[in-house]
Structure 1
Amino acid sequence: MEIITIIKNMLATLFSITLAYFAPVKDMVFVIFFIFVINCLAGLIAGIVAKHERFSNRKFFHCLLETFVFYVIVLSIYIIGEKMKNLDGALQCITGIVYAICYFYGVNILRNLRKLFPRSRPINFMYYILSFEVVRKIPYLQQFLDNEKKEEKK
């Protein structure tokens, strides 16, 4: 039993050290988690209610894996920025990534809500603003979306 206690204490210590090291980005990591949960719930409910789909382990795992990739990207940028003594630049880059995640997942969340509430004018308006009008205000976003459409057609 003593070895199990030693291993548990070592894991708790390593976990605490890791959390303390990444404390400056804890809010951004939480935002990614929060967006993931809302997107997952909206997609799940829209699929079940609007499309009469069953729960898909594959879709859920894919969503979980995609979120994990975002965590790895954010934490990698933080580590690299800290090691290069440019923590402010790393935090600015991470902030941009988190805003991009919020934008694309936000559009997806609203798209799923439109499936649930097709006659909701506020949801339709928010979806319109976020998916069409915001595109005009962010440099290169329209070019990116046009390029994605071309790639999908191929």
Structure 2
Amino acid sequence: MDIKNFIVCSFAPIAAYFSPIENILKAVLLLLALNFVFGLAAGILVDRDGFNFKKAFACFIQVCIFAVIMACAFYIGDHMGDKDGALYCVSSFGCVLIYFYSVNIFRNLKLIFPKNRVFAFAHYVLSVEFITKIQYLENYLKQEKQ
């Protein structure tokens, strides 16, 4: 058996097991990639920074950590006999990631395009108005400022 077949045969069952959270993982990974791209663009165009391997590596590590957390939450919940609860937990964590990274993406877009009112308004709504609708988020952000 060659190495390619071994790798495919090893990872296929793992991918099949985690298929219920596949779409959530794809959405979060896409958003994290967009965050990286727009953060890099803002750094280059606005801050006049070059490509920073340390920041890029930190972003890659964050992606890996978030994916592992989501996979572990699903695995633990599934093995506790509550697959629906596990999916809800992973989905909730995914929504939190989507919210915070969306705010950051729009902040970077606002920096790149300072005269674009759509990006500025979207950033305002997400970062200020939206938090009043999320239970505990407003309190958390107030605590973080102290």
Does TM-score exceed 0.5, indicating one fold? yes
Partner residue, 2:76? 80
Within-5 A mapping of 1:89-100 = 89-100=85-96
Partner residue, 1:138? 134
Identical pairs, percent: 36
Within-5 A mapping of 1:4-153 = 5=2, 7-150=3-146
Deviation (angstroms), 1:75: 0.2
Gaps in structure 1 of 5+ consecutive residues:
none
Deviation (angstroms), 1:27: 0.1
- SS of aligned partner of 1:118: coil
Gaps in structure 2 of 5+ consecutive residues:
none
Amino acid at match of 2:128: F
Distance 1:148 1:70 in 2: 21
Distance 1:114 1:53 in 2: 17
Amino acid at match of 1:73: I
Summarize deviations over 1:104-143 as a string: whole Å, max 9, x none. Answer: 0000001101110111111111011000001111111011
Deviation (angstroms), 1:8: 3.1
Summarize deviations over 1:39-77 as a string: whole Å, max 9, x none. Answer: 000000011011110000000110111111110110001
Computed over aligned residues only, the root mean square deviation of the Cα atoms, in angstroms, reads 1.0
Distance 1:97 1:57 in 2: 27
- SS of aligned partner of 1:53: coil
Q: Calculate the TM-score normalised by the size of structure 1.
A: 0.92
Q: Calculate the TM-score normalised by the size of structure 2.
A: 0.97
Summarize deviations over 1:62-96 as a string: whole Å, max 9, x none. Answer: 01111111101100011011101100001001111
Bigger-Rg structure (1/2): 1
Distance 2:141 2:62 in 1: 20
